[in-house]
Amino acid sequence: MAGEIGHFSLIWVLVAAAIGAVLPQIGAVKGDTRLMQLADRTAYVQFLMALAAFAALTYAFLVSDFSVSNVAANSHTLKPLLYKISGVWGNHEGSLLLWVLILTLFATLVSWRGAKLPLRFRARVLSVQSLLVFGFVSFILLTSNPFLRFDPAPFEGNGLNPLLQDPGLAFHPPMLYLGYVGLSVSFSFAIAALLEGEVTPLWARWVRPWTLLAWVFLTGGIALGSWWAYYELGWGGWWFWDPVENASFMPWLAATALLHSAIVVEKRDALKSWTVLLAIIAFSFSLLGTFLVRSGILTSVHAFAVDPERGVFILAFLAIVIGGSMALYAWRAPKMVPSGLFGIVSRESALVVNNIFLSTFAAVVLIGTLYPLFVEASGAGQITVGPPFFEYAAAVLMSPLVVALGIGPLLAWKRGKLPKAMQIVLPALVVALIAGLALVWSQSGGVVMTAFGLGLAVWLLTAVFAEIASRIKLWQSPGNAFGRLRKITRAQWGMSIAHAGLAVIILGVTVSEAFTDEQLLVMAPGDSTMVAGHTFTFDGVAPVAGPNYSAVRGFFTVAEGDDFVTTLLPEDRVYSNPVMNTTEAAIYPLFTGDLYAVIGEAAGGNRWSVRLYFKPMISALWAGALMMMIGGLLSLSDRRLRLGLPTGRKKIAVKESV
């Protein structure tokens, strides 16, 4: 029954999306208020119906209704409750349904929080959003319907991929999707602006909070994914430049650039067509990720079933959405005439520099991800573009950005106070720096890069504090400095904390890469070894039975000198449905870093191959990501940045500095 309700609700979403995509747009052209108002109503209907469909599928998973083929293929009665729920989105069909649910949720939020947006503009935004919903729901109904029936129903399901049976991964996809799909709002705002033929500082004020919200989720989603990879995959890595990871990183880079360029639009009424383009690109990257994951054209990609029919459908849908918006951009961009001016050395210019580097990096990640396809298509054989290339690109492109990031917030709006000569020197300096870096990277061993990474992190942290100090005039009049501290707006705190978060991440990356101590060895019970000043003693193994797996658990006692530190219990699990082997690393976080133990396979004679690590400051990676999220949320909570807030405060906006 639940299956039919879900299927039926989904058809309603489709109908409402079709109406919501077409009629309000006609209304906007003809100036018909009634048609335009339909946009809000259809948005609510889509959301409620999508919610019903999602609830129906979740119910089917909860009660293990194996007559629904999707449940039979991805669930199992013995599975713990949490993973019955996360199983809903742990597969191709269900994850698409989640995507649609979030898409309609955001449309509803825009309708609700954006009640003060001009009706015509809101109608256009919502109709673009409906169009996206229409595309995704047709995709689900035509090629990937989760509500199809199995007759007769099997007695037992196939079970969920054991690697997905993990709390970190249960919440990673929803978080990531909130980010991906959140960017659809920025996209719809951009398309609406192109249709209207005008981008104003006000537009930037509307679009920025939505981008910020999506960005916070995206940051969280990526961080969760990398954290999960770190503790679940068992070799202590946390980022692999895998195509699917890159697919989540590209929209993040574009969204980060968009957050910054929108400020220039808001303040100076410049950089308008670029900002609109970025909004389109950010969401296009999200869509591209979906395509890469599901089309099977790149290796390594997800276990989502590869089906050529689906690939062609998504490709066609992408061609319409992305190609269509780029065509619209080509047609309308000349209308976006900038009016504001700013000097070469100014905060605005610094934001432009930020945009150049972030967008270049996003472009290079795209090039690196797709380059093997390009080479193979051109008949020049098969190559791999792996971490060394991306690390080179990151070093060459991100280090100048970090240097500029330290200076940027210190520059005045519109016109900086650097002497004229410096204005000329500065760009030259940046270029020289890049060239120097490229050279250092290609020549150096680890030591130079480590020193360099540490230098960058310290530079950025210092610059953040210097900026706060100068804001409160700490050096000029220390007496009143504390009072001024309270005058710093949340948006400003948000910026400082997010920037400091980046510094913390750089610190974590550099230190953990450079000073990790690792031992790969075969141990027998009673053996002990030293890892970074800690004695790991192997006490043997014992079999363990879990609800749907059996495991070999290793016992390690860790001591520092004579002091007992902890017991580490890594497991090597074999799941029963489906049969699969996973490693569960044992991690004990110390203040200075993580103790990390993995038990491998038996090496005969009661000896086991093990991997033992000490990863210094690795937690800084996630702490830094958390700081970025907190910074984003703080900024979002700023009165002047709230989602869809007042329309008529342009003057204040220009006066106050962010």
Q: 555 to 584, contacts with other proteins by CB under 8 A?
A: 580-583
Residues with Cβ within 8 Å of residue 350, at least 6 apart in sequence:
404, 407, 408, 409, 411
Helix (H) or strand (E) holding 614: strand 608-616
Contact between 333 and other proteins per CB under 8 A? yes
Contact between 434 and other proteins per CB under 8 A? yes
Output the smallest distance, CB 586 to other proteins, in A. 17
571 three-state secondary structure: strand
Contact between 463 and other proteins per CB under 8 A? no
HSE-up of 191 (CA within 13 Å, CB side)?
30
Contact between 440 and other proteins per CB under 8 A? no
Identity of the residue, 4 or 601, whose beta carbon is nearer to other proteins in the bound complex: 601
Contact pick of 4, 156, 601, 656 for other proteins (by CB under 8 A)? 601
End-to-end CA distance of the chain: 54
Contact pick of 73, 277, 532, 618 for other proteins (by CB under 8 A)? 277
Q: Which residues of 524-562 are buried (b: 16+ CB within 10 A; e: fewer)?
A: eeeeeeebbebbbbbeebeeeeeebbebbbbbbebeeee
Structure tokens at 655: 């006066």
Tokens 């004229």 sit at which residue?
420
**Residue range at the interface with other proteins (CB under 8 A); choices 130-138, 196-204, 265-273, 484-492:** 265-273
Identity of the residue, 226 or 619, whose beta carbon is nearer to other proteins in the bound complex: 226
Q: Which of 159, 160, 147, 110 is nearest to 132 (CA)?
A: 110
Output the smallest distance, CB 410 to other proteins, in A. 21
Q: Which of 228, 278, 300, 275 is nearest to 625 (CA)?
A: 228
Identity of the residue, 40 or 269, whose beta carbon is nearer to other proteins in the bound complex: 269
Largest interatomic CA distance in the chain: 83
Of 486-515, which residues contact other proteins (CB under 8 A)?
Answer: none
Q: Are 524 and 605 in contact (CB under 8 A)?
A: yes
Which residue type occupies 123? A
Q: Report how many residues bind other proteins under the rule CB under 8 A.
A: 100
Of 35-74, which residues contact other proteins (CB under 8 A)?
Answer: none
Q: How far is CA 449 from CA 395, 441, 452, 617, in A?
A: 9, 7, 5, 17
Contact between 418 and other proteins per CB under 8 A? no
Q: Are 603 and 552 in contact (CB under 8 A)?
A: no
Of 204-233, which residues contact other proteins (CB under 8 A)?
Answer: 225-226, 228-229, 232-233
Contact between 396 and other proteins per CB under 8 A? yes
Of 356-395, which residues contact other proteins (CB under 8 A)?
Answer: 356-357, 359-361, 363-364, 367-368, 370-371, 373-378, 380-389, 392-393
Output the smallest distance, CB 470 to other proteins, in A. 26
Residues in the chain, how many? 658
What gap in Å lies between CA 642 and CA 636, rounded to an integer?
6
Contact between 81 and other proteins per CB under 8 A? no
Which residue type occupies 167? P
Residues with Cβ within 8 Å of residue 145, at least 6 apart in sequence:
7, 10, 93
Quick note: the x/- pattern for other proteins over 513-552, rule CB under 8 A, is -------xxx------------------------------
What gap in Å lies between CA 347 and CA 414, rounded to an integer?
7
Contact between 423 and other proteins per CB under 8 A? no
Structure tokens at 189: 């705002």
What gap in Å lies between CA 640 and CA 643, rounded to an integer?
9
Name the β-bridge partners of 106.
none
Contact pick of 67, 535, 609, 647 for other proteins (by CB under 8 A)? 609
Quick note: the x/- pattern for other proteins over 280-309, rule CB under 8 A, is xx--x------x---xxxxxxxxx----x-
Output the smallest distance, CB 41 to other proteins, in A. 34
Contact between 317 and other proteins per CB under 8 A? no
Contact between 404 and other proteins per CB under 8 A? no
Identity of the residue, 176 or 461, whose beta carbon is nearer to other proteins in the bound complex: 176
Outline where DSSP puts E strands in 406-512. Answer: none
Helices (H) and strands (E) in the chain, counts: 20, 10
Contact between 323 and other proteins per CB under 8 A? yes
Output the smallest distance, CB 265 to other proteins, in A. 13
Q: Are 133 and 13 in contact (CB under 8 A)?
A: yes
Output the smallest distance, CB 250 to other proteins, in A. 13
Which residue type occupies 104? T
Q: Which of 68, 174, 229 is nearest to 585 (CA)?
A: 229
Output the smallest distance, CB 614 to other proteins, in A. 16
Structure tokens at 74: 């991805």
Output the smallest distance, CB 605 to other proteins, in A. 10
Output the smallest distance, CB 637 to other proteins, in A. 30
Identity of the residue, 147 or 317, whose beta carbon is nearer to other proteins in the bound complex: 317
Output the smallest distance, CB 569 to other proteins, in A. 19
Contact pick of 12, 44, 171, 235 for other proteins (by CB under 8 A)? 235
- The values of phi and psi at residue 15, to 5°, are -60, -45
Contact between 433 and other proteins per CB under 8 A? no
Of 9-28, which residues contact other proteins (CB under 8 A)?
Answer: none
Contact between 163 and other proteins per CB under 8 A? yes
Contact pick of 64, 77, 158, 161 for other proteins (by CB under 8 A)? 161
Identity of the residue, 115 or 438, whose beta carbon is nearer to other proteins in the bound complex: 438
Q: How many CB atoms sit inside 10 A of residue 18's CB?
A: 17
Contact between 647 and other proteins per CB under 8 A? no
